[in-house]
Amino acid sequence: MNIVLLGAPGAGKGTQAAKLVDKYGFAHISTGDILRAAVKNQTPLGIEAKKYMDAGDLVPDELVIGLVKERLQDDDTKEGFILDGFPRTSTQAVALSSELTELNRPLDAALLVDVDKEVIIGRLTSRRVCRDCGYIGTEADKVCPKCGGEMYQRDDDNEATVRNRLDVYESSTAPLIDYYRGCDLLVEINGDQDPEVVFADVQKALNL
């Protein structure tokens, strides 16, 4: 099964992707990871992408799609893939669809993990991270329950920054949701539940 993963920062997409990978063996394809790997391995596309990244510019769509196509040649994608972080706009979605059709690997679903904006703000602003081991907890954790280290709030988890990130997400991604709804590929899941309940809903909605 081939899936595009959609959802706001803090909606729990990563948790659901990990569960799908563990249970069904899908390849989790994060475009950020692909870019970093291509740059590190100095592939032709990676060398090209690095020029834009070093200049602080966005990597062009055609380059990112080229990297995704390259990644889809790997053996671990044969059981299916979960594309995370791309496409981000309907223009990218159209281009991606064309390339996937050419590869005979069309999408089966665009999975939207949907959580109310105020719930996400509450989630992210209460998030705390251990300075020593990276454990992610909540403001109730005064010290890390894993290693006893100091828990702190990341700079980008303050309310003003979180609201801005969500506004950017909504303005850029709302058209993408409409695009996949128009393609009859959109599957919406209520992400404001226990992660196991969300996963059960995901499996049911995807007929897994």
Q: What is the pLDDT of residues 66-100, one digit of tens each?
A: 888 888 888 999 889 999 888 988 888 998 999 89
Tokens of 128: 């705390």
181 alpha-carbon distance from chain centroid: 18
Compute the distance between CA of residue 115 and CA of residue 135 in angstroms, rounded to an integer.
Answer: 23
Q: What is the pTM of this model?
A: 0.81
Of 88 and 150, the one with more pLDDT: 150
Mean pLDDT of 147-172: 90
Q: Which tokens is 184 given?
A: 């009859």
Q: Which two tokens stand for residue 161?
A: 């920054």
Assign 176 a pLDDT band (cuts: 50, 70, 90): very high
Percent of the chain with pLDDT over 90: 59
For residue 85, the model assigns a pLDDT of 84
Nearest one of 160, 185, 179 to 94, comparing CA atoms: 179
Nearest-angstrom CA–CA distance, 84 and 87: 8
Q: Would the pLDDT of 56 be above 90?
A: no
**pLDDT greater than 80 at residue 30:** yes
> How high is the mean pLDDT of the chain?
91
Let me know the angle formed at the C-alpha of 191 by 115 and 14, rounded to the nearest 5 degrees: 100
Q: Is the pLDDT of residue 6 over 90?
A: yes
- Tell me the catalytic residues: 13, 88, 127, 154, 165
**For 173, how many CA atoms within 13 A lie in the half-sphere containing its CB?**
20
* pLDDT of the residue at 171: 85
- Residue 122, pLDDT > 90, answer yes
